[in-house]
Amino acid sequence: MDHLFEFPLEIPQRGSRQRLGALHGQLRSAILDGRLKAGARLPATRALSEALGVSRNTVVAAYDLLLAEGYIAARRGAGNFVADLALRRHAMPLPAADADVTARLAPYWRRFMQLPVSAAPAVFAFDFRLGVPDSRPFSYDTWRRLAARALRQMVRHAPLYDLAAGRPALRAAIARHISFARAVACAADDVVVTNGAQQAFDLLARVLVTPGRTVLAVEDPGYPPLRAAFAAAGARVVAVPVDQEGLVVEQLPPDAQVIYVTPSHQFPLGVVMSPRRRVALLAFARTHGALVIEDDYDSEFRYSGRPLDALQTLDRNDSVCYVGTFSKCLFPALRIGYAVAPPWLHAVLINARQQADWHGDVVTQDTLAAFIDEGHLVRHVRHMRKLYAERRDSLLDALHRHAGERLQAWPADAGLHVAARLCMPCDAATLAARAASHGIHIEALGGYALEAKTANGFAFGLGLLDTPRIDEAVRQLAALLVA
């Protein structure tokens, strides 16, 4: 070894399957730290294999890796030589030391460079997190049986790729379900299946926004992911206030080309858009040529009275795109949503879906179609509606008894959460942070607002806390409000 290299090489035992990696790694390290100088000739493969007691093929493979990585260079008839890494670096121009590397990113995304990547949610003793249903009562045995059947059918009729708009059986099942449950006027061909409602919003932003020109009007407070999708596409987002009747249509900017609303259960305040506001909104859309995006995210859970018709049902001018999801009524990991687009938008939306990710999970779509058609969805929603109604009633009662003078609940006749206004001169975000330090997770309404001044309060999700524990959670929260 001494006449080959001035440093030792440690080779693992025969049969360890690590000899190639060890030889390659040690030679590369020797080149990088200067023990093997630029221009030095490497030993012939046969000589090195005999000195190390390894096969010649192992040495040849190690040299080939170093050659491919640019650490050595081969000279015909002369052998292998250590490459000049300084020349290698100069051959690849680097940005100037003072160059702003963030300029490589689109302007909207530069502010996300230093933000942490989402981690697993923290565990709290009392968790009122929004948007998360209780998936424990879900019939996983039924789902497993239907998924197995879908897989067996896939073995016999497996498509290479599938339709961007979604599986025909699921589109038909969705059309029947929302026609029955929400009186949405649609057929199977009108439905576009998406990976959750969020993909529907992203696709709509792609096809509707002209960067720097398109104006999106949103409820304030409202749903941040929708705002983010359109802002990333280059839309100008304008906040419109919400009151007890929903979106204040009279304050819509006249140049609004897209209007996003949650009329059945406003997010996050929970109010229902009044009939007169619905008529006014559709009239605005007709007069100004605007598209209304109707997000009907949890309207299955209505606790009193007959639900008002969807905006899509009332629309007579192809001004509404209806968006729904199964994440709230079944379980979030399902990631299946849908859009019912007006005819002029339908084909464009399908093509955008195809360019985004071609199509969704075929087996899951077939499983969900059977789950709907066999009546399991209706039965599950009926059971969960009763369960959430009990939690809602318990929460409202606890808020009244323990914090009646400090928290005033907004009307809550539907949905998976209840909002309450803070009736004291304190910042809700500060109090939410204090509650979190005591094991209570609540969300401040201000986190959903752009400009709203009346959003100083909390939102209480109903999905993660059983009825018997709600009273104690509110009692402890109320104690923190006066501490």
pLDDT in tens, 98-140: 456 667 888 888 777 766 666 667 789 999 999 999 999 999 9
Output Rg (C-alpha) for the chain, integer angstroms: 30
Domain boundary among 351, 375, 399: 375
Residue 90's pLDDT is 52
342-367: average pLDDT: 95
293-306: average pLDDT: 89
24-38: average pLDDT: 90
CA distances from 168 to 142, 171, 373 (A): 22, 5, 13
Domain annotation covers residue 116: no
pTM: 0.78
Domain annotation covers residue 104: no
Domain boundary among 357, 375, 393: 375
Query: Contact at 8 Å (CB) between 397 and 472?
Result: no
At 61-99, the pLDDT tens digits run: 899 889 888 899 988 888 999 998 766 555 455 455 445
Q: What is the mean pLDDT of the chain?
A: 90
Q: Is the peptide bond before 221 cis (omega within 30 degrees of 0)?
A: yes
Domain annotation covers residue 6: no
277/414 same-domain check: no
Q: Smallest Cα–Cα separation from 147: which of 368, 376, 329, 328? A: 368
Domain boundary among 375, 398, 426: 375
Of residues 162 and 94, more confidence is placed in 162
Owning domain of residue 322: 140-375
CATH label of the domain that carries residue 332: 3.40.640.10
211/304 same-domain check: yes
Mean pLDDT check: name the lowest of 8-17, 22-31, 386-395. Answer: 8-17
Q: How many domains does the chain have?
A: 3
Residue 2's pLDDT is 43
418 phi and psi angles, rounded to 5 deg = -130, 135
Residue 163's pLDDT is 92
CATH label of the domain that carries residue 40: 1.10.10.10
Residue 158's pLDDT is 74
